[in-house]
Structure 1
């Protein structure tokens, strides 16, 4: 066996919580409340995200079990291989890579949007062109590119730096959000009567809630960054599930609080009618002027930074694991000679996402909407593998755990992830993707198919023992799921 590169165990529990929470919240909680209320109404958004968080916790049960069993880099990619073999792992990893990279790019574009609102004289310099109704300026492109390069450099410098920064960003975000919500509720012009009507009267309460539940996989994507970094835990993997649950509850609370802070300021339907680019920014500016915008901007910047940083960590670890398995070129498995970080994956992510700001925000949103499918596919694989780990009744197989309760939870996770997928792909459903997103999806599938056909023969020739060692650091001849998969592949 060739030497297997392994990442250092440097991540502390509160850093890991920060990676999950900060990645799950990101920029959306501070930028999109107006868009969400337009779709579902204030209570519809809060109920939708609350139910979505509970469904994510159900799915997280499977993640918690698999992190304990397989504490390695790669997350769902490694789990798909463990449960279903190399081709499923390749399929899952391809879609998950897309989802992660899209979110890195979108966070950079959100920073450009923030600068556009706060410092328009800086961002709106050098009009370049218009894409899908969005004017692209040289100033905003420069801001986004600087952010991408800066966070790539910081991640190359070491996991300890990125983990500590993530924790500080999250604390600052929580402090700023708390002050913002209190200030907006206590403002003389604010009133809870502005929250009426609670739902969007045009689509009804149930449809409104379902529309928000449909985007929960995108809203909460980031909690699954924890398994991507499992190899670097300096604590027991048994704590992972608790950290995921706390992160999801904190994220749900954050989404709800930003909705409340936005909705109490003025009748939300009047706010939507103004068609402003940033509804939350508008109501805060009206209430507290420049000071309020600065406070909101700090919280938003922290959300953007946590998203950038967290998904740089996740994407680079996924690419590292796929390179170590030789699904991707082996160069992705290299570690930096000084900092011992997967620098090739970090640089590759940076180079790919640097092109995103040039396409304009609207075009980028089409790709991000499509990438939600990749996330739901990853959720499905994780739950399916965990489901096979448990048994309803006693069995002669010593590698299967008898636990009807956990078996039921993983089954619920399977149903939830399947439901999320159907909400995105069934015509007429509240979360059905638009035509541009479908075009982007088919392009990505075509690229993946071509890449797979080019690598298929080489990939098939890798002995299972070598793949086991590269992915897990050990062979899995005794594992029942792995041996069953081997028979199927044979």
Structure 2
């Protein structure tokens, strides 16, 4: 009897790359807090104080923190219910349909990318404070700002390093974030100690300047300064935490950031007189040096500013890349953006795209700082407003949706919070309009317009007629697949994408 040769083993299918659930609670909280405490507190605090006075600026930041806290409550419930990469993208798709989802996603992506570019310009500006001879090899001038090769290369090198860290894995990026945030808080604690022991109460006069115009002049920067708590929802799919806890960390991170900004305003004002503030390039650093009587402490605060740059840059790059990845997964952006690194499980192409943009930003000079702050803020508020609308819609249409964290209870409390979020964001958005006390200039509106012109081209890719609902993404992908003559994916294939 002949022996039968066994068939060769079937080839093993290589597992598809996937996002890795590796972020612990400290990583998650550091991502949220670190993204909000960037470099603005070093470079802009002096302007805030001269615009509104120490008390006026502190009240504006406290009010801004309260507004963002209400917005954060809507996010906390939604991320606990839908802990998936892309945050806003998922909430709007389920509540309002595909095209509204694209608009909200594109808005917050624009806000993220402007902040990443901002940090790429802020870093060489900070380095110039520590190294006055940094400006070598003149290149050109942009809006009165001279650009030097050596100055720009500081931002370029940092862009390469931070993008590389994020490609190498979210756990590495989270660990770096936690370490740098701890250093940042240590510097902040020293600044507070200096103000409590050596601050001059007389420097706080006048407490309020320019009345309502000063208050709103500070309030308009709030979206830019507080953007980042929503990076936690962007990375929710990579958090190794119960969904309810992820939602809580969204609100906690906002409260910490608000306390930080109020503290920095008051401590800086206590260290410098009105005249000194008017002539200071970096008021927070100069105040630190004055409070301790040594330039070395000013340099230490600059190091804290650099830490803030790195934490914000790292977090917002993480958030923006996950958002572009989610939009690509839903067919709203080219599939190229949805490519994950085969080894590290990170959205490598989305990271490279944003990394290249941040690499180019320093070559436009420090004039870009103000433009980026102003151009990104309206887009951020638009996204927050739409999330508030989605929150209200889902509360009314899907009252029994699984919500591990339910803000405001099961009654009308949640609807009140959602409605308040919408109204506050609408009011904040109106401040940017021409003719308002804090209306934006021409250059920020041009940058804002260019981003949305580009978005309009991608919006045309998004099919009409995709109605809201829990399976909206499946129906969107099915329609796109049928248009390309491919097999319509089954819902089971989409689970845990």
TM-score normalised per structure 1 = 0.88
Q: Return closer, same or farther for 1:88/1:458 CA change in 2, 3 Å cut-off.
A: closer
Higher alpha-carbon deviation: 151-160 or 430-439 = 430-439
Which SS does the other structure have where 1:109 is aligned? helix
**Partner residue, 2:356:** 351
Higher alpha-carbon deviation: 436-445 or 297-306 = 436-445
Q: Return closer, same or farther for 1:457/1:226 CA change in 2, 3 Å cut-off.
A: closer
Cα pair 2:226 2:254 within 8 Å, conserved: yes
Q: Return closer, same or farther for 1:294/1:405 CA change in 2, 3 Å cut-off.
A: same
Where structure 2 has 5 or more consecutive residues not aligned to the other structure, the ranges are 1-14, 404-409, 480-488, 493-497
Cα pair 2:98 2:462 within 8 Å, conserved: no
Report the Cα distance in structure 1 between the residues aligned to 2:317 and 2:360, rounded to whole angstroms: 16
1:283 aligns with 2:287: yes
Deviations 1:133-179 (A, max 9, x none): 11111111000011111001111111111111111111111111101
1:130 aligns with 2:141: yes
**Out of 364, 367, 382, which is 1:362 matched to?**
367
Q: Return closer, same or farther for 1:398/1:178 CA change in 2, 3 Å cut-off.
A: closer
Which SS does the other structure have where 1:135 is aligned? strand
Report the Cα distance in structure 2 between the residues aligned to 1:194 and 1:127, rounded to whole angstroms: 39
Which SS does the other structure have where 2:85 is aligned? coil
Which SS does the other structure have where 2:147 is aligned? strand
Where structure 1 has 5 or more consecutive residues not aligned to the other structure, the ranges are 477-490
**Rg larger in structure:** 2
Which SS does the other structure have where 1:41 is aligned? helix
**Partner residue, 2:251:** 245
**More helix, by proportion:** 1
1:465 aligns with 2:490: no
Cα pair 2:88 2:104 within 8 Å, conserved: yes
Structure 2 matches for 1:349-428, cutoff 5 A? 349-391=354-396, 398-399=400-401, 402-425=410-433, 427-428=434-435
Q: Return closer, same or farther for 1:90/1:261 CA change in 2, 3 Å cut-off.
A: same
Q: CA deviation at 1:448?
A: 2.0
TM-score normalised per structure 2 = 0.87
Report the Cα distance in structure 2 between the residues aligned to 1:213 and 1:417, rounded to whole angstroms: 12
Structure 2 matches for 1:50-449, cutoff 5 A? 50-121=62-133, 123-187=134-198, 190-200=199-209, 203-204=210-211, 206-267=212-273, 269-274=274-279, 276-286=280-290, 287-391=292-396, 398-399=400-401, 402-425=410-433, 427-449=434-456
Report the Cα distance in structure 2 between the residues aligned to 1:108 and 1:81, rounded to whole angstroms: 32
Which SS does the other structure have where 1:341 is aligned? coil
Cα pair 1:101 1:349 within 8 Å, conserved: yes
User: How many residues matched?
Assistant: 459
Q: CA deviation at 1:423?
A: 1.2
**Partner residue, 1:452:** 459
The alignment's C-alpha RMSD in Å is 2.6
Which SS does the other structure have where 2:141 is aligned? strand
Report the Cα distance in structure 2 between the residues aligned to 1:396 and 1:264, rounded to whole angstroms: 51
Report the Cα distance in structure 2 between the residues aligned to 1:474 and 1:279, rounded to whole angstroms: 58
Cα pair 2:463 2:476 within 8 Å, conserved: no
**Partner residue, 1:482:** none
